[in-house]
A and B are shown apart, each in its own frame.
Chain A
Amino acid sequence: MDERAGESGMKLLFNKNQHDIDGDSENANEVSRRKFLKIVGVGAGSVAAVGAGIELIPYKAWADSNPNGWGGNSGVSGMSAATMGSSQEVGNHQWAMVIDLRNCDGCKSCTAACQKAHYLTEDQTWIRVFEMGDSQGNTYYMPRPCMQCENPPCLDVCPVHATFRTDQGVVLVNQGRCIGCRMCMAACPYQARYFNWKAGAKYPDTGVAPTPEFPVPQRLGTAGKCTFCVGNLNHGLMSECASACPMGTIYNGDMITDVAINSLGNTVKLSKFLYENDAVAYKDEYNTHPRVWYIPGHGQNLDTNATTG
C-alpha cells in the first residue's frame, strides 16, 4: 500500500515550524534519467532564453516593489491587499507551486501520475511537459500545469460560472454545470484547458461522485483541467505530479504558511526560495498572476549532481 495512505501516514506537510529549514534542491542523488542538456550560457539568470523575453515576470522585482506584500514581513494581511483584492476572503491556505527547471529532465513522470490518478486519456495532459528551445538552439523541459491564475481569463469568459475560484486560490471547473462551449480553452494563455471529446473512456467505480476538486469520472462534453490536486493538499498530501517527480522538480507550496516541499523531502521557505532563486511568473504580462512560479534553468542541477555525488 502506498505509504502516503497509511493510517498514520498523514504528515502535516505545511507546518509553520518548518519555516526556517531552507533547503536547496541539490541533494538529488539519482540522476541517471537525465537525458539532455549540458549547455553553457543559459543559467538561472538568463531569463530571456526561455521565451520572447517579456513572457517571464521576475518574482524578485515584484517582491522588491511590494515590500509589505506577500513574502514580506506582514504575511497574510499584506498578501490580501497586494495580490488578492481587498474584498476577497482568504482561506486557510493559499496553494502555490514552484517548478524548478534546474532539476527537470523531461521524464514526464508527472504527466503519467496525473493521468493515472484522474483517469485521463492520453491526450489530456493536465500537466504537460513542453520541450522548449532557447536562443542557442538547445532544448530544455518545462512542465506546465494549470497556473491557477489569481486573475484567471478562463473564469472571466465562462458564460455559466462553471469555472470558479475557491477561497484557497484554486481555479476549478464544475463539470456538472459546464455547457461545453470551450470559451475557456480559447482564453487560457497557457493551453492548460482540456476537453472531454470522446465518449467511452473507462473509469473504475470509485464509489464517489465527481466533485470539482476531484472530477472523476470526467463527464463527456465538458472542460477539465489541472485541479492542483487540492483535495490531496487539504489532507496534507502532495499533488500527484509533485510526489511522482523523481527529481524533486515540483514543489507544492502554501503562501500562508510560506512553505514549499518537493518529493525529495526538501522543505523551503517559499518566499525566500523564490526570491533567492530568481523565480519568474510565466506570461504574467497577460495580467493573469499565476500561482505557479518557475525557477529558470535547463536541468543543470542534474549535471552537478552527477559529477559531485
Chain B
Amino acid sequence: MTSTLEKKEIEQITAIAPDPSWESEVREAAMRSIVTKPGKNWWIAVSLLSLVVVAGLGAWIYQLKHGMNSAGYNDQAFWAVYIADVVAFIGVSYGGAVVSAILRLSGQSWRAPLTRLSEGMALVTVLIGGAFIFPHLGRPERFLNIVAYPNFSSPLVWDFIAIATYTLATAIFFYLPLIPDMAVAKNLVDKGGKRARLFSILSLNWMGTKKQRALLHRVLTVISLIIIPLAVSVHSVLSWAFALTSRPGWMESVFPPYFVVAALYSGTALVIVTIYAFRKGYKLERFITDRHFVRLGYMMAALGLVYAYLTVADMLTEGYTGITTGWIQETLTGKYAIPFWFYVIAGEIVPIALVVMKKTRNAKGMTVAGVLVVISLWIKRIVIILPAATQPLISGQWGSYHFTWVSITVTLAGVAAIPLLLMILFRFIPLMSIDEMEEVGPLGSIEQISKETLKAAREESIPEPSKEESK
C-alpha cells in the first residue's frame, strides 16, 4: 500500500519541471570546480599537501626497513598511534555517511547542497583509514594472509570484513547519486574532450526519465538503509578489537556505542570543516548558508554530549570498584592527564559553548568548533589506547610510547591526504548534487521542507501538461 503511494509520489515529484533560473545557478556553481581552471593557490596547496604525503610514504619505507621501533613502539606500547589513526579516520568517514544517509532517509531537504561533499569526504577518509592498517602491521606484505588463512574467532578478521564491506558501500553510495550529475556535466565541458568522454561513460546515458528516477531513488533508499547499520557495525567491530581482550580499560561493554558515537561526533565535525573549506574555496555562500552550519552544529553538540556521557559512564563504572583503576588514575592525573583534559576542554566544553553562544553560532564559529573536535577526538583515541596498552598487567613499570618523527610524519601524511584527495576528486566531480538541488528547489535546499509541502510548492509552478499527466 505504502509502496504504491510512494511510487506515485515519486512520479509526481519527478514529473515537475524545475525552476529554470535556479537550475542554471546551481549548475554553474556545482560545475565551478570542473569548468574553471585551477588557480595558483590551488596548485600551491596541492603541491604542499603532496609533499607531506610523499614525506609520509618515505617515513613508512624507513619504518619498514628499520622496524617498528623507529615509530616509537615497544613491547609495552604495542598499539599506539597507527591504530588510533585507523579508528579516527574511519570514524570521521562515518560523519559523511550520516549526513548523507540519515538525512536522506528522514527526508531532510536541506541536506541537498551538503550530500556530495560529505559523501566525498566519507569515501576519501575510509580509504585513508583503511590504508593506515598497513603501517600498523609489522608485516604488511603478508596482509592477504587474512584472506588465505582467516581465523573467524579473531576480531581483526571481523574488522577486515566490516571495513571492506563498508568501503564498498561508501563507494557505491558515492557513485550512484553522481549518475544524473554526470549526465548534466558532460554537456557543460568541451565536447569531445577527455573529461566529456569520462563523464558520459559515468553517466550511463542517463536521461532522467521517470522510470530512471524511480529506480535510482529506490536503490538509494535501500543503500541508505544498509549503510547506517553497516557503519554502526564497523565501529562496533573496531571497538571489539580492544574490548575483547582482558585488559582493564579496554574490556568494557560500553565500547561499541562509545566508538560509534565518537565516530559520529568527529565525523559531523569534519563535515562542517569540509563544507566550510569548499564553501570558501569555491564561493558557495549562496547555497551553503550559515543555517546549514548551525544545523550541523546542533547535531554535533548533541553527539558531543552523548559522548561526554559515555566517557563518564565508562570511567565511573571502571573506577568505582577500584580493582583496575590504574589506567584511570593515569588518565585523570598522571601521564595522560594533559591530553585527556585537553580533550575535555577543547573537545567538549569549548565546541559546545560555541554552539550555545549566539554570537558564535555561525559558519565560522561552527568551523572552529569542528576543527577542535576533530583534533581532540584524535587525542581522545590516543588516551583510550595508550594507558590500557602500557599498563603493567603483573607488576613493574608502566610502559611508555614516544612519538617519533616516523609516526608523526606518517600520521600527518594521512591528515594531508584528506584535503589533497578531496581537492583532486572535486576537480572531476560537481561540488553539489545538481539533481538533488534541482529537486528540492531554492527554498528546500536551505529550509526543511516536507515532501508534501515540496509537492504543493511544486504544483504551483507545474506546467500544464504534467499536471494533466499526474491526474
6 residue pairs, one from A and one from B, having the closest CB atoms: A180-B138, A221-B138, A197-B69, A159-B156, A159-B154, A160-B145
> Chain B nearest CB: distance from A43 CB in Å?
20
- Please name all residues of chain B whose beta carbon is closer than 8 Å to the beta carbon of A177 when the two chains form the complex: 142, 145, 149
CB neighbors of A among B377-420 (8 A): 389, 392-396
Select A153's contact among B139, B157, B246, beta carbons within 8 Å: B246
- Please name all residues of chain A whose beta carbon is closer than 8 Å to the beta carbon of B151 when the two chains form the complex: 156, 158-161
Q: Which residue on chain B has the smallest CB distance to residue A125?
A: B75
Docked complex Cα distance between A80 and B149 (Å): 28
- Please name all residues of chain B whose beta carbon is closer than 8 Å to the beta carbon of A194 when the two chains form the complex: 75
Q: Which residue on chain B has the smallest CB distance to residue A220?
A: B67
The answer to the question of B332 belonging to the interface, with a C-beta cut-off of 8 Å to chain A, is no
Select B396's contact among A131, A160, A197, beta carbons within 8 Å: A131
The answer to the question of B242 belonging to the interface, with a C-beta cut-off of 8 Å to chain A, is yes
- Please name all residues of chain A whose beta carbon is closer than 8 Å to the beta carbon of B250 when the two chains form the complex: 186
> Chain B nearest CB: distance from A101 CB in Å?
13
CB pair B138 A220 closer than 8 Å: yes
CB pair B67 A196 closer than 8 Å: yes
CB neighbors of A among B221-255 (8 A): 241-242, 244-247, 250
CB pair B138 A182 closer than 8 Å: yes
Docked complex Cα distance between A222 and B67 (Å): 10
Docked complex Cα distance between A182 and B156 (Å): 10
The answer to the question of A9 belonging to the interface, with a C-beta cut-off of 8 Å to chain B, is no
Could you show 7 A-B contacts with beta carbons less than 8 Å apart?
A132-B394, A160-B151, A162-B145, A180-B68, A180-B142, A186-B247, A197-B73
- Please name all residues of chain B whose beta carbon is closer than 8 Å to the beta carbon of A161 when the two chains form the complex: 149, 151
- Please name all residues of chain A whose beta carbon is closer than 8 Å to the beta carbon of B75 when the two chains form the complex: 123-124, 185, 193-195, 197
The answer to the question of B448 belonging to the interface, with a C-beta cut-off of 8 Å to chain A, is no
CB neighbors of B among A189-208 (8 A): 189-191, 193-200
Interface string of A161-200 (1 = CB under 8 A from B): 1100000000000000111111101110111011111111
Q: Which residue on chain B has the smallest CB distance to residue A176?
A: B142
Name the prevailing secondary structure of the A interface residues.
loop
CB pair A157 B395 closer than 8 Å: no
Pick from A144, A189, A220 the residue with the most CB of B within 10 Å: A220
The answer to the question of B2 belonging to the interface, with a C-beta cut-off of 8 Å to chain A, is no
- Please name all residues of chain B whose beta carbon is closer than 8 Å to the beta carbon of A193 when the two chains form the complex: 75, 78
Q: Which residue on chain B has the smallest CB distance to residue A287?
A: B246
Select A157's contact among B78, B245, B396, beta carbons within 8 Å: B245
CB pair A190 B394 closer than 8 Å: yes
Given contacts A157-B244, A185-B75, A193-B75, 13 further A-B contacts (CB under 8 A): A156-B153, A159-B156, A160-B145, A160-B150, A178-B138, A180-B140, A183-B155, A185-B78, A195-B75, A197-B68, A197-B74, A198-B67, A221-B139
Q: Which residue on chain B has the smallest CB distance to residue A197?
A: B69
CB pair A179 B323 closer than 8 Å: no
Question: Interface residue count for A (Cβ, 8 Å)?
Answer: 43
- Please name all residues of chain B whose beta carbon is closer than 8 Å to the beta carbon of A182 when the two chains form the complex: 78-79, 138
CB pair B245 A186 closer than 8 Å: yes
> Chain A nearest CB: distance from B65 CB in Å?
7
Docked complex Cα distance between A186 and B323 (Å): 19
CB pair B66 A198 closer than 8 Å: yes
> Chain A nearest CB: distance from B193 CB in Å?
45
Docked complex Cα distance between A185 and B143 (Å): 18
The answer to the question of A52 belonging to the interface, with a C-beta cut-off of 8 Å to chain B, is yes
> Chain A nearest CB: distance from B149 CB in Å?
5
Docked complex Cα distance between A143 and B279 (Å): 62
Select A286's contact among B143, B160, B246, beta carbons within 8 Å: B246
The answer to the question of A133 belonging to the interface, with a C-beta cut-off of 8 Å to chain B, is yes
> Chain A nearest CB: distance from B41 CB in Å?
41
The answer to the question of B146 belonging to the interface, with a C-beta cut-off of 8 Å to chain A, is yes
CB neighbors of A among B112-150 (8 A): 136-140, 142-143, 145-146, 148-150
Interface string of B61-83 (1 = CB under 8 A from A): 00001111100011110110000
CB pair A199 B66 closer than 8 Å: yes
The answer to the question of A279 belonging to the interface, with a C-beta cut-off of 8 Å to chain B, is no
Interface string of A95-106 (1 = CB under 8 A from B): 000000000000
CB pair B394 A181 closer than 8 Å: no
Docked complex Cα distance between A200 and B67 (Å): 9
CB pair B395 A196 closer than 8 Å: no
- Please name all residues of chain B whose beta carbon is closer than 8 Å to the beta carbon of A199 when the two chains form the complex: 65-67
- Please name all residues of chain B whose beta carbon is closer than 8 Å to the beta carbon of A62 when the two chains form the complex: none
- Please name all residues of chain B whose beta carbon is closer than 8 Å to the beta carbon of A156 when the two chains form the complex: 151, 153-154
